[in-house]
């Protein structure tokens, strides 16, 4: 679709020609995102692929080099590693998963490295040449240059909003400097009857965030009160062990000069985790030092994507760590680790 006016959309065919048009009193833009390109690294979806191509390998590569140590690179890299590939991850920064809570990032680095992922911090590609026999890479780690030989290279350096051929210039729709459509708290653009949601606007590029924005916009158009609480959107990285979090990190609290207390509990002290043979990782709670309100929760361990929901609900209701500590959790379950972490905020852990 292409915006022709504030109330008209031209429907284009695969050749980019308008076949017919639609009239609407309200328009919602939800065009999502596409893999971000890297200058000097041509993606051919054969030897050098993006996240889409990495889902379509016809066989397990012997050696997969992943450029980018973020969410997508780690998820796909760890999947192919579990299927038998040797995986090398080039992480440009010196800190692994720098946007996560520091304790979680360090634990993830330790556990994924222990599994066999070759994670190289402070590394970047200088040159990539694809040939019939594979891909030759020249990389730089710190001040050292070296060469690598790979069967496949995955470029996983993030995603960018998809606004090409949308026709934003036809109607004066405003974008920010990074190409995202500018919206207010209700996802309204600078044109009153046009809304935008999901990856194409500010905020986390998460499917559940986009879905909630879509519902909120529909409610707004219907004359109701739409709402999305961006402070309690859960994040998940689907490696194994899984990583999930909601709210503030310890580093953010320090930067904002908010006094806090920490509660941590390892899965190695949880009976259900032992029964599952999945004892790696821990639960970490950050609570306000003045009123015990939960400010952030971070989990690395089995079923973290499921467990984080308890903390999301708790934070939506402004619960304290003591509230979680005084709720009865079934035994044996992984949720007991959440209970124990809440107890740990007040140094009252039971099973440690």
Which of the residues are catalytic?
A: 331
Cis peptide before 241 (omega within 30 of 0): yes
Closest CA to 285 of 267, 308, 305: 308
Cα(285)–Cα(295) distance, rounded to whole angstroms? 8
Cα(197)–Cα(41) distance, rounded to whole angstroms? 30
Q: Rg (Cα) of the chain, in Å, rounded?
A: 23
What is the enclosing helix (H) or strand (E) of 231?
Answer: none
Residue whose pair of structure tokens reads 């993030």 in the numeric block = 158
Pairing relationship of beta strands 48-49 and 63-67 according to DSSP bridges: unpaired
Tally of CA atoms within 13 A in the half-sphere of 194 that contains its CB: 23
Contact of 100 with 298, CB cutoff 8 Å: yes
Cα(104)–Cα(96) distance, rounded to whole angstroms? 10
């Amino acid at each position: 679709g292409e915006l022709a006016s504030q109330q008209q959309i031209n429907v284009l065919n695969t050749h980019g020609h308008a076949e017919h048009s639609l009239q609407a009193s309200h328009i919602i833009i939800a065009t999502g995102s596409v893999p971000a390109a890297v200058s000097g690294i041509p993606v051919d979806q054969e030897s050098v692929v993006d996240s889409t191509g990495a889902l379509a390998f016809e066989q397990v590569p012997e050696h997969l080099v992943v450029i980018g140590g973020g969410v997508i690179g780690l998820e796909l890299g760890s999947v192919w590693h579990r299927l038998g590939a040797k995986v090398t991850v080039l992480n440009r920064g010196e800190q692994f998963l720098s946007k996560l809570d520091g304790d979680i990032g360090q634990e993830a680095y330790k556990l994924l490295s222990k599994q066999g992922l070759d994670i190289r911090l402070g590394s970047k590609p200088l040159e990539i040449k694809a040939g019939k026999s594979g891909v030759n890479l020249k990389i730089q780690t710190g001040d050292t240059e070296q060469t690598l030989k790979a069967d496949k290279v995955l470029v996983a350096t993030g995603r960018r909003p998809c606004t090409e051929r949308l026709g934003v210039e036809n109607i004066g729709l405003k974008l920010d400097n990074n190409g995202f459509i500018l919206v207010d708290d209700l996802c309204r653009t600078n044109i009153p009857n046009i809304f935008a949601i999901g990856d194409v606007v500010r905020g986390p590029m998460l499917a559940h965030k986009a879905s909630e924005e879509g519902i909120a916009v529909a409610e707004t158009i219907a004359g109701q009160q739409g709402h999305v609480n961006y402070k309690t959107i859960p994040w998940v990285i689907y490696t194994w062990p899984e990583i999930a979090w909601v709210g503030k990190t310890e580093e953010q609290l320090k930067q904002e000069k908010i006094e806090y207390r920490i509660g941590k509990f390892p899965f190695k002290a949880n009976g259900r985790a032992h029964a599952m043979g999945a004892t790696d990782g821990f639960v970490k709670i950050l609570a306000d030092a003045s009123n015990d309100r939960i400010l952030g929760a971070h989990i690395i361990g089995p079923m973290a994507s499921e467990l984080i929901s308890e903390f999301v609900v708790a934070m939506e209701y402004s619960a304290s760590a003591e509230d979680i500590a005084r709720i009865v959790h079934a035994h044996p379950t992984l949720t007991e680790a959440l209970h124990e972490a809440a107890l740990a905020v007040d140094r009252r852990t039971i099973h440690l």
